[in-house]
Structure 1
Amino acid sequence: MNEGGREEYVRAYALTGGRTQPQHILALETVLVAGAGRLGPAHSHEYEEILALCRERRRSVAELAGLLARPVTVVKILVSDLLDSEALTLPVTTPYDVAGTEPGAPSMQLLAALSAGLKRKWPDAVPYRRAG
């Protein structure tokens, strides 16, 4: 390993305080926005960069990792810290309005996305037979 690679590895370790897992469950596609919370004085420059990017517009975890050129796990840990301080939040979105559905009822697109996510997370799950 070259000297620069070793330095980058140590930097990532220092950024996360040696942690290897975030406190929050975050997917690559988790979208984040800047919140009302404030950073403490001990936060590093990377925290400020994440907040600045999320103030511009909503950003996904994967997008933040790419823009910061940091490993996804490191970014998830930093984002998790920012969620704890309420400096970042997860936006609450409403399901798409579809003609013919009750107000407040989930749309077919939302249900299809949920189904696809569940199948991806548990590919070996056995579906229940439909009732009726």
Structure 2
Amino acid sequence: MTDDMPDSGPPPSGHWYDQEAGPLVRPYAMTGGRTQPGPAAVHFDLIALVSIDEDAPAAGEGTALGPEHRALIELCRAEPQSVAELAAGADLPVGVVRVLLGDLLERRRVLVSRPVPPARLPDERVLREVIEGLRAL
């Protein structure tokens, strides 16, 4: 071994964190090993908006929620957030956020507004005609 390379011996026992990254919790631990958001196989688009369900059960049920679930709820409290924004705000992988949102949706803690399917969007030709009509005014 050279003096340039530090000894990379075994990590100290009992340490489950990286000094620079902070506590290390694997995504499968946050989701209980699940990779799909609930039994209904709900798919959360990245641009789907998530908001707090005002008719949600009493706060006493919140004790059954994990810290990641509560973090997602807090992020949505001020205003609806997209799935992508929630993943960035909670600093979690999108797959984990989708599973956690599935839990919250099943517990009726959040509402999800899915994006409009492309087939239901107005035709680009129609939009251009509207723009041209407005410019003509």
TM-score norm. by structure 1 comes to: 0.61
Q: Structure 1: which 5+ runs fail to align?
A: 96-107, 114-132
Write the mapping of 1:16-95 to structure 2, written as runs, cut at 5 A.
16-23=31-38, 24-35=42-53, 36-38=55-57, 39-91=61-113
Aligned residues between the structures: 97
Structure 1 stretches of at least 4 aligned residues deviating more than 4 Å after TM superposition: none
Note closer, same or farther for the CA distance 1:89–1:73 as it changes in structure 2 (3 Å cut): same
Higher fraction of strand: 2
Say whether 1:8 aligns with 2:24: yes
- Structure 1 vs Structure 2: percent identity of aligned residues? 32
Counterpart position of 1:110: 121
Secondary structure of the residue aligned to 1:32 is strand
Structure 2 unpaired stretches of 5+? 1-10, 12-16, 125-137
Secondary structure class of the residue paired with 1:90: strand
TM-score under structure 2 normalisation?
Answer: 0.59
Change (3 A) 1:29 1:18: same
